């Protein structure tokens, strides 16, 4: 199987692995065994939704040690530029070169709302930092002993509901590409027609786009995302299918496979966010035809 960086520009398949709240890594090792050889890389979330979990870097190291290429997610929420650069160099020393740059969710939304946010670097400045480190210098202009080779990526929300918000997403994509983004991963896509328009609107940027897909677990989950997750719009037909299905897990997997089949001719890859059902990803990919 191609490495993650080799796959970019062809059809890249990634998924997401969320570290658990604790230091037991047996589940991570099991997930790596199931996913290796089935995806080009697995993103490891960084305190997703501002909820305390095992660190992204150590989880990436465990995945890599067990045969699964990782993508290190790093947010600017919890670190200043010194800590960010130090963590990036530490990752490079461990052979972790794929990085997804995120600003991060506000800590008030998580399980430690009293924590202080840092937000020293936003995602655009974070990507610029990766390029600077790749040039052999730090942000203070000092030369590095040993030069990393980061492949930096970013996120984009193609489903922004209001025109102004949508145009802002396009502007931010252009800025991120200009400072070195090598790939984009999107918020969950359920409307293929709207996504096709987004791909047309961003064709000039020339950076591979991996469409996000989230397997539905219930009609209630779909309604919740429609109400609470910006940029996600689950069509009524999928909500009705989930409501009527006897085996909701199987129906959610079937819908996801259908979406991936529809996305294959629209973009350069998919990013499967299984949210706790990572072991279902190989079956979804097989049903979609991308394996």
Domains defined along the chain, listed by start:
4-288 (3.20.20.220)
Rounded-to-integer distance, Cα 21 and Cα 134, Å: 33
- State pLDDT tens for residues 150-202: 999 999 999 987 899 999 999 999 999 999 999 999 999 999 999 999 999 99
**Cβ atoms of residues 157 and 209 within 8 Å:** no
- Which pTM value belongs to this model? 0.95
DSSP string, 96-142: --EEEEE----GGGSS-TTSPP---S-HHHHHHHHHHHHTTB-TTSP
Residue 152's pLDDT is what?
98
Question: Over the chain, what is the mean pLDDT?
Answer: 95
User: What's phi and psi for 22, nearest 5 deg?
Assistant: 150, -175
Rounded-to-integer distance, Cα 180 and Cα 128, Å: 7
In a 3-state reduction of DSSP, which class is residue 228? helix
Rounded-to-integer distance, Cα 270 and Cα 152, Å: 17
Q: What is the DSSP letter of 229?
A: S
Rounded-to-integer distance, Cα 50 and Cα 89, Å: 23
- State pLDDT tens for residues 225-250: 999 998 899 999 999 999 999 999 99
β-strand partners of 72? 44, 99
User: What's phi and psi for 77, nearest 5 deg?
Assistant: -65, -40
Rounded-to-integer distance, Cα 170 and Cα 157, Å: 9
Burial track 151-187 (b if 16+ CB lie within 10 A, e otherwise): bbbbbbbbbbeeeeebeebbebbebbbebbbbbbbbb
Q: Which residues of the chain have pLDDT under 70?
A: none
Residue 107's pLDDT is what?
81
Residue 169's pLDDT is what?
95
Smallest CA-to-CA distance from 27 within 37, 36, 17, 14 is with: 17
């Amino acid at each position: 199987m191609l490495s993650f960086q080799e796959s970019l520009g062809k059809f890249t398949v990634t998924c997401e692995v969320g570290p658990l709240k604790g230091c037991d890594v047996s589940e991570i090792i099991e997930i790596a065994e199931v996913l290796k050889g089935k995806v080009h890389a697995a993103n490891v979330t960084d305190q997703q939704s501002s909820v305390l979990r095992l660190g992204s870097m150590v989880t990436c190291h465990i995945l890599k040690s067990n045969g699964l290429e990782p993508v290190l997610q790093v947010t600017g929420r919890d670190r200043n530029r010194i800590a960010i650069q130090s963590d990036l160099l530490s990752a490079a020393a461990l052979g972790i070169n794929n990085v997804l740059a995120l600003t991060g969710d506000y800590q008030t939304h998580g399980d430690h709302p009293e924590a202080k946010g840092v937000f020293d670097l936003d995602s655009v400045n974070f990507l610029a930092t990766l390029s600077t480190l790749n040039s052999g210098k730090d942000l203070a202009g000092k030369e590095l002993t040993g030069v990393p080779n980061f492949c930096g990526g970013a996120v984009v929300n193609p489903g922004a509901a209001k025109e102004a918000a949508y145009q802002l997403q396009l502007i931010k994509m252009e800025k991120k590409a200009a400072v070195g983004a090598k790939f984009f991963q999107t918020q969950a896509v359920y409307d293929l027609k709207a996504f096709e328009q987004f791909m047309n609107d961003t064709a000039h940027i020339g950076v591979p786009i991996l469409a996000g897909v989230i397997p539905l677990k219930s009609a209630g989950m779909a309604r919740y995302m429609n109400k609470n997750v910006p940029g996600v719009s689950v069509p009524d037909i999928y909500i009705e299918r989930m409501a009527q299905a006897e085996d909701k897990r199987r129906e959610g997997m079937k819908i996801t496979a259908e979406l991936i089949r529809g996305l294959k001719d629209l973009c350069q890859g998919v990013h499967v966010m299984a949210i706790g059902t990572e072991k279902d990803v190989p079956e979804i990919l097989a049903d979609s035809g991308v394996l």
